[in-house]
Amino acid sequence: MAITGVLRPGHVVIRVLELAPALKHYIEVLGLTEVARDKKGRVYLKAWDEHDHHSVVLREADEAGMDYMGWKVDSPATLKSLAKDIEKSKLCTDLEWIPAGEHPETGERFRFTIPTGHLMELYAEKKYIGNNCGTDGQNVNPDPWPDGQHGISPSRFDHCLLYGDDLDGTVKLFREVLGFSIAEKIVTKADPNFMIGAFLTCSNKAHDVAFIRQPVKGKFHHASFELGSWEKVLRAGDILSRNKVSIDIGPTRHGITRGETIYFFDPSGNRNEVFAGGYIHYPDRPAITWYDETLGPAIFYHDRAINEAFLSVFT
Amino acid sequence: MSHRVSIENTGESFACAEDVHVLAAMEQACCHGIPVGCRNGGCGACKVRITSGSFHTKKMNRAVVSAAEEADGCVLACKLYPQGDITVKALGRVWGAGTVRKSAHFSLDFTRPALVSQPDKET
């Protein structure tokens, strides 16, 4: 097995100011499916091609933003050993075990605060509920996609972009403790050792999480969802406009990762992205470098300039 | 019913219906005095102080408008609905006309902070 250790981003818990409009957005417009609700009022959602029980959790709160992001690891043994490695690294604070069942159908989770101030979790077990493509039972003789899709209907929750101050500490944690590679980085041309942004992958994706250095702790730039094609990104733009969703920018292309993208906001001002494309990453693929002076085309390849909202609008 | 909204910083004014938020009416009127961010009460870019007039608001992100600020007349324009003619003062950065700066060399103010940990070594 080539991909071991941390497998993928498994869930993101997003705070919303009001649950009803958030559900309309994430279910009817984005096209996720509600899977469960719990006693705390949290709503659990998944995208159509995810087999695990849930990937997006919405929690009503007075503040918008991200509570935490959870990472699926390959086994309970890996979970224990990574928890020890995180503790030994001394890079994280607030280490804590969350008991099995605190998220429905999910095993115990190891939670920690990373140097950029974000709460992260690792877990090994979450119930497979399937993608409803099987024609003779789950995963048997499957159709290519299931009936009943609605809204934009991305295949999966794909990654987050997060803002925080101690980028070096967080990158050190993800690379040296959690086994990620840097696929792309933004550095200052004057001092190429000074990183402004890091796009990190634990898989064959161009990124599973990205961080940009900003003088804040624990801030959320966007959660991203995967679409199969550029045409679907354009169609997503149509669906967003039809529903009068606040669009940030796009459809356009990122220089970084080469992805085709549209950024938009949920009803609480949390940014979402749907994207297509990119490339296949392997651990021996040389990291791509972008200089600060080329940040414009790195972020938005066609405009060749970042919009003001890119750096200053986050939750 | 429509009311007049005036932005102190720029002298701009525009009409805004009672059921339309001030930021949307400003964008419709091609005015630029209040910075536009998420338009949904989350990011705080469009924070303004009400200097006169009556209004009501909808729920805003407490992380960007504290209860004390709200009591003091600070609100987000994207959650602000006029109930009479109102005057506001934009509190955030005024980005000027257009939100995209057409510069190939966007300069960022990344002042180098004291590093908590050492920069990662490249492989």
State pLDDT tens for residues A240-259: 999 999 999 999 999 999 99
Q: Is the ipTM of this complex over 0.90?
A: yes
d(C-alpha A101, C-alpha B104), whole Å: 51
CB A122: neighbour CB atoms within 10 A? 23
Residue B18 in tokens: 């009672």
Please tell me the distance in Å from A138's CA to the nearest CA on chain B.
40
Kindly state the average pLDDT of the residues A283-294. Answer: 95
Backbone angle region of A218, left / alpha / beta, with phi > 0 → left and psi within -120 to 50 → alpha: left
Q: Which of B19, B20, B36, B38 to mutate to test the interface with A (most CBs of A within 10 A)?
A: B38
Instruction: Please tell me whether residue A247 adopts helix, strand or coil conformation.
Output: strand
Asked whether the beta carbons of residue A309 and residue B63 sit closer than 8 angstroms, the reply is: no
Q: What is the pLDDT of residue A134?
A: 96
Number of Cβ within 10 Å of residue B27's Cβ equals 15
* Distance from the A244 Cα atom to the nearest Cα atom in chain B, whole angstroms: 11
Which residue from A112, A104, A13 is spatially nearest to A55, judged by alpha carbons? A13
Best mutation target among A245, A313, A314 (most B Cβ atoms within 10 Å) is A313
Averaged pLDDT for residues B117-123 = 42
Pairs of residues, one from chain A and one from chain B, whose beta carbons lie less than 8 Å apart: 130
pLDDT band at A308 (very low <50, low <70, confident <90, very high): confident
State how far the Cα of A268 lies from the Cα of A67, in Å rounded to an integer.
14
Which sign does the torsion angle of CA A148, A151, A152, A156 carry? negative
Per the CB < 8 Å rule, is B40 touching A266? Answer: yes
- Choose the catalytic residue: A25, A159, A221, A281: A159
Q: Which long-range contacts (CB under 8 A, 24 or more apart) does A127-132 make?
A: A127/A52, A127/A53, A128/A51, A128/A52, A128/A53, A129/A35, A129/A46, A129/A51, A129/A52, A129/A53, A129/A105, A130/A51, A131/A48, A131/A49, A131/A50, A131/A51, A132/A48
Q: Give the pLDDT of residue B93.
A: 52
| Nearest CB partner across the interface for B38, out of A195, A269, A306 | A269
* Own/partner long-range contacts of A37-42 (Cβ < 8 Å, ≥24 apart): A38/A103, A38/A104, A42/A13
Percent of chain A with pLDDT over 70: 100
Nearest Cβ partner for B106 among A165, A296, A315: A296
User: Quick one: what percent of chain A has pLDDT higher than 90?
Assistant: 97
Q: What is the mean pLDDT of residues B105-113?
A: 42
Please, what is the average pLDDT of chain B?
Answer: 82
Residue A77 CB partners (closer than 8 Å, separation 6+): none
* Closest Cα in chain A, distance from residue B35 (Å): 9
Q: Do A305 and B106 touch (CB under 8 A)?
A: yes
pLDDT digits (tens, 9 = 90+) for B12-43: 999 999 999 999 999 999 999 999 999 999 99
Q: Are strands B74-76 and B47-52 parallel, antiparallel or unpaired?
A: antiparallel
The burial of A15, by beta-carbon neighbours within 10 Å (0-12 exposed, 13-18 middle, 19 or more buried), is given as: buried
A167-196 pLDDT, tens per residue? 999 999 999 999 999 999 999 999 999 999
Pairwise CA distance, residues B45 & B33, whole Å: 12
- DSSP states of A297-311: HHH-TTTSS-BHHHH
Q: What is the pTM of this model?
A: 0.92
Q: Where are the alpha helices (DSSP H) in A166-294?
A: 167-172, 230-242
Closest residue to A246, CB basis, from B39, B95, B107 = B39
Contact (CB<8Å) A295/B106: yes
pLDDT value at position A147?
A: 94
The pLDDT score that the predictor gives to residue B75 is 97
> How does pLDDT run across B59-71, given as a tens digit for each residue?
999 999 999 999 9
Q: Output DSSP code: residue A48.
A: T
Distance from CA of B6 to the nearest CA of A (A): 24
Q: What is the pLDDT of residue A2?
A: 80
* Chain B neighbors of A63, CB-CB under 8 A: 61-63
Q: Which of A265, A311, A312 sits opposite B39 (nearest CB)?
A: A265
| Distance in Å, alpha carbon of A130 to nearest chain B alpha carbon | 34
Cβ distance of B103 and A305 shorter than 8 Å: yes
Is the model's pLDDT at B110 over the cut of 70? no
User: pLDDT tier at B107 (50, 70, 90 boundaries)?
Assistant: very low
Residues in B closer than 8 angstroms to A18, CB to CB, are 59
> For A81-114, how does the pLDDT look when each residue is reduced to its tens digit (9 = 90+)?
999 999 999 999 999 999 999 999 999 999 999 9
Of the residues A222, A226, A260, A281, which is catalytic? Answer: A222
Whole-angstrom Cα distance, residue A149 to residue A171?
Answer: 37
The answer to whether the CB atoms of A315 and B43 lie below 8 A apart is yes
Nearest chain A CA: its distance from B58 CA (Å): 10
A71: pLDDT strictly greater than 60: yes
Please say if A263 is a catalytic residue.
Answer: yes
User: Per-residue pLDDT for B116 more than 80?
Assistant: no
Question: Known catalytic residue: A273?
Answer: yes
Cα separation, B80 vs B93, in Å, equals 18
Q: Is the dihedral of CA B25, B30, B32, B35 positive or negative?
A: positive
Q: Which residues of A touch B57 (CB under 8 A)?
A: none
Q: What is the pLDDT of residue B121?
A: 43
8 Å CB contact between B43 and A268: no
Q: Inspect the interface and report whether the beta carbons of B45 and A271 lie closer than 8 Å.
A: no
A222 is catalytic: yes
Q: Enumerate residues 6+ apart whose C-beta is below 8 A from B11.
A: none
Distance, in Å, from the CA atom of A51 to the CA atom of A157, rounded to the nearest integer, reads 12
One DSSP character per residue, A103-168 reads STTB--EEEEE-TTS-EEEEES-B-B---S--SSSTTSS--SS-S---SS--SEEEEEEEEES-HH
Residue B95 has pLDDT above 80, yes or no: no
- B61 and A267 in contact by Cβ < 8 A? no
